[in-house]
Structure 1
């Protein structure tokens, strides 16, 4: 496989046509077509389905596309970092941030990072893992700060633990079931949860099945942003499961209540998550250092707000 062939594959998949790929790459359609045919010939596999309305990828093509994106992103990052060291270019850093970190430590972290590395272009995602994992896989995200649940994900990604945090079942204040003391009393309610595509069974086992609670899975809505969870909890009386600290977050218009259930939920680990065998750039390592410094400052603080914060958090290092 050659670099220009992988570039042709990625551009064609993103544009949906050879013409669009040629325009993106600044090449002729004939050159893009030739690169794709050479790639298919070298692999001995059909990678594209060609039709009058455009192109689509075969299953073989989809698999190769993931690796092609990762390879091109890694090469681009290496070139950018070398150029930055020569003082000729800006570096881009793309990070997934779990929402409760956004509500607590993110502002301090970003301000500190910008002072130390003002020329790095910073891109932040609200990183519920359903969003982060595909971007990590293709290299479109450098790393994520969040939990890693499923065993499959643990095999694919590497994680460096930072802290653990308590979780709780949350409902809006005034919810008709807010006095419930068992998850069994909530099985007839609608739920809004977030999970990666391969993490559904792990989460359902953690929340329900191990407690003998057999919920109708049709009652569960999968949301891919904190905002969606917020709206459905506030306006549709849905139950959710979140870090306990979310209940005190000022961004929620309606107060949330953490239910005191007899079922116990073990603390969740928050980690720096990267592709296995991947390496962090100097900018990425700097951002992690700034985050850890911000967390430690709050952990040492005697302010009432910080003391309350660390009632649900345990710093590991």
Structure 2
């Protein structure tokens, strides 16, 4: 297994064809084809399925592709670290950010980071952890600011706690069930929730079953983004469960109503989520430090808006 073969594999996956991979790598189509065939021969496994409309991957190919991406990303980090030792701080940094952090602390964090490391190419991926985890797994994302999904492997990921936040069942302002006082009053409503592909059972247990409530799973719509979730709450009158802080910040403040239910939901923990046993780059550490500076500054503030934020947040560091 050679580096140029792994590069050909990843480029083919990203381009969707060998021709596209050759163009991206600056090689001939024959060179990319040869590299892929040599890789299949050395592993004695079929990795690709070739068709006129493009290529797809066998199960063996999908497994190897995940590791190939991780290897290439680690080599990129190694190159950045060597450049740092030469006195240059360059490279790329991809950070996953949970939506409510985007609405509160992200802009100040990015400004501070850009002042500190102007030569770093920064990419921000706003998304719930169900979106971030696959990118962390393959190594294309350096770290995420969020919460591990129920069922996420603690052997695969590590999470350094930053703060806890309250969560609430919410509906739109003016919803017929806006005065509901129990989860049992909401079982005939439609719900929109976010969860990982293998996380629905844990979430249903947390929200309903442990409180003696049984909900028809067909009433639950899975949303992959906060924008979709918000649209379903506001325009389709669905119920949701999300960080309470969303009801305090634009554009959702005044449009979402947390319900005062008798059932309680323990504070959730937000942290810096990384691949376990993978050290963060200098740029990643700098971004984390900038984020913590911003959060601490707001936590100490006596401004009205900040006091409202930290009624639902508790700093752990």
TM surpasses 0.5: yes
Greater Cα offset, 263-272 or 303-312:
303-312
* Aligned mates of 2:286, 2:28 — CA distance in 1: 42
Give the conservation status (yes or no) of the 8 Å contact 1:70–1:138: yes
Deviation per CA, 1:18-62, whole angstroms, max 9, x where unpaired?
222222212122221221111112212111112233221100000
* Aligned mates of 1:63, 1:259 — CA distance in 2: 44
SS in 2 for 1:153: coil
Query: Is 1:109 equivalent to 2:109 in the alignment?
Result: yes
Greater Cα offset, 302-311 or 133-142:
302-311
| Paired position in structure 2 for 1:144 | 144
* Aligned mates of 1:209, 1:42 — CA distance in 2: 51
| Paired position in structure 2 for 1:287 | 287
Greater Cα offset, 72-81 or 255-264:
72-81
SS in 2 for 1:311: coil
| Paired position in structure 2 for 1:76 | 76
Offset at residue 84 of structure 1 (A):
4.5
SS in 1 for 2:152: helix
Give the conservation status (yes or no) of the 8 Å contact 1:127–1:146: no
Q: How many correspondences in the alignment?
A: 317
* Distance verdict in 2 for CA 1:278–1:161, change over 3 Å: same
Greater Cα offset, 216-225 or 272-281:
216-225
Aligned-residue Cα RMSD (Å) equals 1.6
Give the conservation status (yes or no) of the 8 Å contact 2:246–2:253: no
* Aligned mates of 1:9, 1:144 — CA distance in 2: 26
Deviation per CA, 1:166-220, whole angstroms, max 9, x where unpaired?
0000101110001111111111111111122222222121111211222111111
**Structure 1: 5+ residue runs without aligned partners?**
none
TM-score by length of 2: 0.95
| Paired position in structure 2 for 1:56 | 56
Deviation per CA, 1:46-92, whole angstroms, max 9, x where unpaired?
11112233221100000110111111111112213323543567321
| Paired position in structure 2 for 1:99 | 99
**Structure 2: 5+ residue runs without aligned partners?**
none
| Paired position in structure 2 for 1:311 | 311
* Aligned mates of 2:182, 2:23 — CA distance in 1: 59
| Paired position in structure 2 for 1:90 | 90
